[in-house]
Amino acid sequence: MSVFSLDSWLTLIPVVHGSGAYASALRKELLSTPFDALAVPLPASFATDVIRGVGRLPALSAVVRLSAQQDRFDEVDDSHETTSLRGTYVPIDPCQAVISAIRFALGERKPIVWIDSESDQIENHSPVFADCYAIRHTTLERFCAAMLPAIPPPDAGLGGGNLLERIDTMAERILAMRSTYRSLVALCPLETWPWLREAIQKKIQRNDPKPDQRVDSQEEFYSTDLYAIDPRSYLFALGELPFITGLVELARRDFQDDDQVVAEGLKELFVTARSSYRQELGNRARSITPLLISQCLKYVRNQTLLERRMTPSFYTLAKSAQQMMGDTYTMHLVNSAIEYPLDDPLADGTDGLEVMRLGIGVGDLPGWGRAKLISRLPGPPMQWHSLELKRRVEKKDQRRWESRWNPYMQCSWPEEDTQIESFRNRVAERARQILGADLARIEKFTSSIMDGLDLRETLRHWYDGSLYVKVNPPSIGQVNVTVMIFDPEPDPREYSWRTTWFSEHPEESTLAFFATPFHKQLIGPGIAMATYGGSMFIYPPRPIADIWKDPELDFADTLEQRLVAAACMHSESKHVALLSPTPPGFALKKIAKRYSRKLVHVPLSHFSDSTLQQLRIFHVLNGRQVRSYAADFIRKS
């Protein structure tokens, strides 16, 4: 016998509101439970509009009923505006277990009984239960039974008097159906489940021939209204993220199992955000690889476990993405998460309904204004969190900043100078290691192990018992010029900005580079952004002629050839470090030979894509005075 069964004719199933995983599990439970009618914990006055709203799915809506007795509810809300309107609403959300059950019953042509009290004196949120993610690894019965110790009894002295009244009302109306239906499935909120069972059992034990005819709430209400929901309010109306809710509906439409959608949908969310991110920024977009998404999801998991949750909150998703992928990608992630994929941007989608806006505990109703609204299907408590993101730059702001740009003043952002100089040191050190490895030799052991035992050569001569050691050559000296080619085939039309910058202090290199034009990417007053195509660093710094105007380099045909030619011409060392995606070709080697220099190739693949992408994007300031406020506008994309 199931833990949900109270009698041969009654199955009482608790529900957790606002959970797509629970809604999916409940639907499977209903499929396996034969019944003649479904009882739902909603008032009968909502029946017509709720059924109408369910029939509109996947279009989202809400049924609202305002109280006609408003004078005693006057108060000041969070926006300091006085409002006397109060009411309750039912979100027509496919990830709400009750709505999913109603939708199932309508599809199976089962009668629906509305058993909740009409009173609007209800709690504005449900108690905090275990995360419904656990249902994927257990049964609905075991999950609900495990919650029993966490369900407190309703205390009339602590505001639970109305809950006791609702429990008693639902018990009476369930028992009233005993003579009408041979088998009834009744739904109730999880926090009322043990106490509703107790109330029903007590009434059954009394064996009353007729249930008490209860008088419902004497409060006065306006009639219910069905409203379409403003897309900007989906986040407040739905139990799951709008994007996840859309995936659940898409799975239903395509006759797929939605059991894994809620969990796997986060991966789809990150991939969708990456697509829109790339579409907006093009080549300037940071490389969001599958590995980076996987690492970010692991970070999200760890942060979620620290919060003692199993399903991440929206804030955790956004904060983790910001820390690992930057502000711009996070903006796309947030925008993708709050979009409902089944909304047609070219269609009205309201079917003539008026559109309402929702917030936390408040709604803006057409013709009524602002009202304090309480959901009759409350999910977990919602909280505001602040997350500072770099906003998109408006075109009018860019035009204003461009008109005020002084073309005779340019300087770099010191934090990026430090990063690129540190990276230059790493590339130069790697070049010395590669050159040293090429000059290393193997000798037979005589009296010293030199620089260590060479196992490969020793094993190769195992038959004669000889030992072989490594001999590394002395240091080859410094590599004072480093060339970095980020784009293997740079287009001169794309990298039209070419210049040479001189150091401000001895810790900086003399820098020559070609990059995208900065004046097309203004992000603040006197602050622009560009992307390196290739660069040359001379360290220690010294003044040189502008390599892009030097006639001695006019023999070079391409941007990378001119950069390498300048590096070989100004290098005081015989070796020049070259960081590039592919080894230098015949043309570059010929240029190096012309200046009696040798290129030491450092593969670009030795460094992570995220590091390279972060270094390629740099900022140009319109004078040193801009550095005083540039940090307010500069954040890595």
Distances (CA, A) of 18 to 24, 74, 375, 406, 623: 12, 29, 11, 55, 53
In terms of Cα–Cα distance, which of 218, 224, 248, 234 is closest to 90? 224
- In this structure, are residues 329 and 274 in contact, taking their beta carbons and an 8 Å threshold? yes
- Give per-residue burial for 263-275: e unless 16+ CB within 10 Å, then b: eebbeebbebbbe
CA angle (113, 117, 118) in 5-degree steps: 105
Residue with tokens 């050569």: 457
- Determine the Cα–Cα distance for residues 233 and 236; give it in Å rounded to an integer: 6
Instruction: Encode pLDDT of 421-458 as tens digits.
Output: 999 999 998 888 887 666 667 888 888 888 788 888 88
Which of 472, 479, 470 is closest to 432 using CA atoms?
A: 479
Chain centre to alpha carbon of residue 351: 32
Which residue, chain included where needed, has tokens 């006065």?
220
Ranges of residues in the chain whose predicted pLDDT is under 70: 1, 69-83, 123-128, 156-161, 208-219, 263, 283-284, 344-350, 436-440, 473-477, 635-637
Report which residue type is found at 57: L
* The residue count for the chain: 637
Residue 517's pLDDT is 92
Q: What is the pLDDT of residue 361?
A: 86
Q: Which residues pair with 529 in a beta bridge?
A: 619
pLDDT of residue 390: 77
Distance CA 528, CA 543 (A): 26
Give pLDDT, residue 520: 85
3-state secondary structure of 526: coil
Q: Which residue matches tokens 């960081």?
A: 579
For 300-322, the pLDDT digits (tens) are: 999 999 988 888 999 999 999 99
Which residues, 6 or more positions from 342, have their beta carbon under 8 angstroms from its beta carbon?
Answer: 58, 59, 246, 249, 250
Q: Give residue 85's pLDDT.
A: 87
Instruction: Find where tokens 């007590």 sit.
Output: 202
Instruction: Reduce the DSSP state of residue 296 to 3 states and report it.
Output: helix
User: Which candidate, 251, 227, 232, places its Cα nearest to that of 59?
Assistant: 227
Query: Is 633:413 a contact under the CB 8 Å cutoff?
Result: no
- Own/partner pairs for 207-212, CB < 8 Å, 24+ apart? 211/172, 211/175, 211/176, 212/172
Task: Give 163: exposed, middle or buried? Use CB within 10 Å, 0-12, 13-18, 19+.
Answer: buried
Q: Give the pLDDT of residue 227.
A: 95
Percent helix, strand and coil across the chain, each rounded to 5?
A: 40, 20, 40
Q: Is residue 623 left, alpha or beta, with left meaning phi > 0 and alpha meaning psi from -120 to 50? A: left
> Which residue do the tokens 């109305």 mark?
162
What are the residue boundaries of the structural domains of the chain, listed by start? 10-227, 242-337, 411-439+478-632, 440-474
pLDDT at position 74 is 45
What single letter denotes the amino acid at residue 94? P
| Ramachandran category for residue 252: left, alpha or beta (phi over 0 → left; psi -120 to 50 → alpha) | alpha
- Residue 439 CA to residue 444 CA, distance in Å, equals 17
Question: Is the C-alpha dihedral spanning 313, 316, 322, 324 positive or negative?
Answer: negative
What is the C-alpha separation between 411 and 524, in angstroms, rounded? 15
Question: For residue 105, what pLDDT is reported?
Answer: 95
**How much is the pLDDT for 80?**
44
Burial tier of 495 (Cβ tally within 10 Å: 0-12, 13-18, 19+): buried
| Number of C-beta neighbours around residue 305 at 10 A | 11
Question: Hey, what amino acid is at 19?
Answer: S
Please answer whether residues 502 and 541 qualify as being in contact, where contact means their C-beta atoms are separated by less than 8 angstroms. Answer: yes
